[in-house]
Structure 1
Amino acid sequence: MNSDALEPPFVTKTTVVVRDDLEAWQRLNVTAFLVSAVTAAHPELVGTDYQDADGQLYLRMLGIPVLVFEGSGEALQAARTRATRRELPLAVYTREMFATGHDAENRAAVRAVAGDALDLVGIGLHGPKNVVDKIVKGSRLHP
């Protein structure tokens, strides 16, 4: 088995699941925020700087694939429940967060609602492949 998280075969999986009833800009926004959360929680998944043939440096990126799925609100809530039961950390994005202006307001919006009542529009997670697959069961690859 490969011990380098950035070299195939990948033993872990990074996945985002977004609501299937969001507008395109919302799906992209939610995906970006959730991937940033996974990246912050797992800095070992970030590669080194990119550089072109002229020597120009570019920012580092995640060095692994990110699979984006879509599902209903019920599918996202079921995935949240499965992840918390398995104690796999995850990022959440709720519908209320579209109306906030900054991170502190986002955290307050989530804090105000019990976990099983969150109006989830997206989740992001990283973990062992088989565990992540079980958690996102009921979602489908985003077209």
Structure 2
Amino acid sequence: MNDVHWDTKIAVVVRDDLAGWQRLNVTAFTVAGIAAAEPKIVGEPYEYADGVTTGALLQQPVFVFEATGEKLTTIAGRAHRRGVTLTVYPETIFATNNDADNRATIADLAFDQVRIAGLAVGGPAKEIDRVIKSAVVRHP
């Protein structure tokens, strides 16, 4: 197996007090947003020997961390200031069930007023490291 070096990086940071299903939900939704914003990171579909084809996956690893709500706000601010791709999962959308209602939950709030359940950032690896540096609680 080749040791591959990635010039870009995707990191997901979920709030440390979320239930398991919420952490998974946040991860899935925010990574989908990164893939939509950066379609070149999506590979080709997988084709098996028996002719079965399945959908494409991201071409690089996704690093998943957790942090406090306060640290998530810090990370979001850094990401915004540094201009990296940022997707945010506001806590309020756990109570909705469609995209229009999701957006309506934050339409009257300033960005720094949103209680963030999680986020994903994508971009140059060094920039992403700076965005999440010292603001992330890592668990083995």
Measured against the shorter chain, the TM-score band is over 0.9
Hey, what does 2:17 align to over in structure 1? 21
TM-score, structure 2 length as denominator? 0.92
Distance 2:9 2:138 in 1: 14
TM-score, structure 1 length as denominator? 0.91
Aligned residue among 82, 94, 111 for 2:78: 82
Q: Aligned-pair distance for 1:127?
A: 0.7
Percent identical pairs in the alignment equals: 45
Note if 1:140 corresponds to 2:110.
no
Distance 1:119 1:132, change over 3 A: same
For the aligned residues, what is the CA RMSD? 1.4
Check the 8 A contact 2:9/2:123 in 1, yes or no.
yes
Aligned residue among 32, 36, 43 for 1:36: 32
Which blocks of at least 5 consecutive residues in structure 2 are unaligned?
none
Q: Aligned-pair distance for 1:142?
A: 4.9
Q: Aligned-pair distance for 1:62?
A: 0.8
Q: Aligned-pair distance for 1:89?
A: 2.8
Which blocks of at least 5 consecutive residues in structure 1 are unaligned?
1-6
What amino acid does structure 1 have at the position aligned with 2:22? Q
Distance 2:92 2:81 in 1: 24
Hey, what does 1:106 align to over in structure 2? 102
